Chain A
Amino acid sequence: MNEIILTRIKLISVLIISNIILFYKDAFYLNLIFFLFILFYVFIREKFFEYISWLKPLFIAVIIIFVIQLLTKESLIVSALSSLRILSLSSLIFLLIQTTKLSLIVKALNFLPPQLSFVLSLSLGMIPQLTKEIKQVTIAQQARGHKINWNILKSYLPILVPLFTKSFIRSEQISISMQARGFTF
Chain B
Amino acid sequence: MSIVIDSISFQYESKKIILDSIKLKIKKGDFVAILGKNGSGKTSLVSCINGLIPHAIPGKLTGNIFIDDKNTRDQSIGEISKKVGTVFQDPDLVIFNLTVEEEVAFGVKNLNLNNPEKRVHDALETVGLAGFEKRDPQNLSGGQKQLLCIACVLAMGTDYIILDEPISNLDYSNAKLVYQILKSIHEKGKTIIVVEHDTDMVWENSTITIIIEDSKIIMNGLTKQVLKNNQELISLGIRPISKNL
**A interface residues, Cβ below 8 angstroms from B:** 49, 133, 136-147, 157-158, 160-162, 165-166, 169
Contacts and interface: CB of A to CB of B under 8 A. Distances in A.
Given A142-B55, A166-B93, 9 more contacts: A139-B57, A140-B86, A143-B77, A144-B81, A144-B156, A145-B77, A158-B96, A161-B96, A169-B92
Interface string B151-164: 01000100000000
A46 B90 CA distance: 34
A139 B56 contact: yes
Interface of B: 50, 52, 55-58, 77-78, 81-82, 85-86, 88, 90, 92-96, 106-107, 110-111, 138, 152, 156
B58 to A, nearest CB: 8
A140 B95 CA distance: 10
Central interface residue in B93, B107, B111, B138, by most chain A CB within 10 Å: B93
Given A139-B52, A139-B57, A165-B138, A144 B96 contact: no
A81 B76 CA distance: 38
16 contacts: A137-B93, A139-B52, A139-B57, A142-B52, A142-B55, A142-B81, A143-B52, A143-B88, A144-B106, A144-B152, A145-B82, A145-B156, A147-B78, A161-B96, A165-B92, A165-B96
Contacts of A141: 94
B80 to A, nearest CB: 8
B52 A144 contact: no
A58 to B, nearest CB: 20
Contacts of B55: 142
Contacts of B52: 139, 142-143
A143 B110 contact: no
A144 B150 CA distance: 12
A145 B110 contact: yes
A138 B58 CA distance: 14
A153 to B, nearest CB: 13
A166 B89 CA distance: 14
Given A144-B81, A161-B96, A169-B92, A138 B107 contact: no
A173 to B, nearest CB: 12
